[in-house]
Structure 1
């Protein structure tokens, strides 16, 4: 059953129950919605318009779309979902909760910031995550440009430059070895983290410099790039690119009512939603896909996760539809 929207794209007044609501309009959410819409399911995507990769100039490592601006990729994805009858609306979810169902088939109510509500048989949560940077003066303004986190997403674009790795914990050692593949000029700012003798030997063998002094600020150039890193001893170490393993936090706003469990990432690197096969959760009728459950997934993997979850949601709905049809047939036979 189609859902009406206003001229501004808001959800209109409706008592319809759609097959699925997808919370999050990134690669995972849109690909999940695409699978559902192509299966002739009524599906509504709620898109907050704040994708994780918005600062990036292009999506990389995605076959056939390498270098495509993130906004353009999402525009194409929204158009594809709509082509098959799916609905994509702009909005933010403020609450989502399961409703009691007389026949045991899950039902959910999703409330939006504009006051609109949706009822759904199934939910796909694809809210993504937030990257939390270290609290270093001058660092955040360069995020997504001269401050990067993923060697596979941004590495080619910063190759052969003077790169500094801002350590945040044990994961940063591996981070440094990956970025060393991209440049001969790499400095590791330990920032008070421990480096054992074996790691120091490995860094030395690969020509990775180590700076023990604390980092107090990131210095910018007049053109908006990075000039270097200021240390607490007054020195400035010239760098044009900084790599940092961010703390990864699943976006949970508006989802408390679903009581979805979170799991901590190793080494204090953040958290993510706990899921089983194909994004299933402990809450019947709720699936999760993309960075919200797989923080390390690039765009392609997030999209694939969404597609798999969408297919499983359709299969679950097909089973529920069949159960309902059998029950109705039995009631008809009994009443004959």
Structure 2
């Protein structure tokens, strides 16, 4: 059986034939059969990582440490860009989102096999042993490349209510995750927006951070008698009047919820779990399975229903948090490397 040999020392061993794009890379693919070597080197990259948030950066770092040829396509600002800080991220609690990503990019620099570029990937085409990706650079130039595997880490888009104030205050006074932001508004008046079973569960969770919590349903809340009983038992208020707008600014924060009848509910923050959409259509375009909640389905190895296409971070099922996205990206990278290694030594 052929053996995979790697050399991470200062010089490459005889037989190493790195591509020009990685002329400074000392890691190499060694004693692989001629057929396998041809399949590997026919592609410009081992892995194309699309999305440079916590999941994508974490995956690129892990793959770089595996001496993999990686292209990290940075498509723009992440989902948490409006937030003033990232919390519950081990060793980085309270860091600004942009600073966290800057540190992530900096820590890729020592790995010559990892290339990070500002790219918008618009199309993926499945090939016999990999993928072709096309799109444009940050300067608007056409771009085309190939990779043996693709990892999607493009995240999701939150669909906020079409009412004044929600989008403007998103990340400051309008919040998604109490584990990320609950501590900063603890012991203050809080609102929870939504309807049905979901808003009840979120409101009960939020009551961990404050004893002054009010559910705002913007019209009939479709709550069962049992749900109303649970809210009353926990001292959680209920306002079912139609909402006119949220009052406040990103700098001063949320002041209150204004209802159509002219009444107000003073609150420091409003929590909600809005519907989500995939930020990128690439998985759906390739025919990958999408769950009923709009997430990209993956197996235990982070692979989608399309062979060779992986996904990680907020775009897959599960809890959403920056630290969890980073862990998801690292896990996907490990699964990717092991799958590629099995292919190379077969």
Partners of 2:196 and 2:223 within 8 A in 1: no
Structure 2: distance between partners of 1:260 and 1:60: 32
State whether structure 2 residue 343 is matched by structure 1 residue 320: yes
Structure 1: distance between partners of 2:250 and 2:159: 26
Task: Describe the SS at the equivalent of 1:264.
Answer: coil
Match for residue 52 of structure 2? 25
State whether structure 2 residue 225 is matched by structure 1 residue 197: yes
1:154-173 equivalence runs, <5 A: 154-173=181-200
CA change 1:51–1:256 in 2 (3 A) is same
Aligned residues: 304
What's the offset of the Cα at 1:202? 1.8
Partners of 1:260 and 1:273 within 8 A in 2: yes
Match for residue 145 of structure 1? 172
Structure 1: distance between partners of 2:213 and 2:344: 58
Task: Describe the SS at the equivalent of 1:50.
Answer: coil
CA change 1:79–1:233 in 2 (3 A) is same
Q: Which runs of 4+ in 1 moved over 6 A?
A: none
Match for residue 301 of structure 1? 324
What TM-score do you get using the length of structure 1 for normalisation?
A: 0.85
Structure 1: distance between partners of 2:270 and 2:246: 9
Which sections of structure 2, spanning at least 5 residues, go unmatched? 1-17, 23-41
CA RMSD after TM alignment:
2.0
Which sections of structure 1, spanning at least 5 residues, go unmatched? 6-14, 266-270, 324-336
Match for residue 108 of structure 2? 81
Bigger CA drift: 197-206 or 118-127?
A: 197-206
Task: Describe the SS at the equivalent of 2:323.
Answer: helix
Partners of 1:187 and 1:208 within 8 A in 2: yes
What TM-score do you get using the length of structure 2 for normalisation?
A: 0.83
Structure with greater helix percent: 1
Task: Describe the SS at the equivalent of 1:311.
Answer: helix
What's the offset of the Cα at 1:168? 3.9
Task: Describe the SS at the equivalent of 2:76.
Answer: coil
What's the offset of the Cα at 1:2? 6.0
Structure 1: distance between partners of 2:319 and 2:19: 35
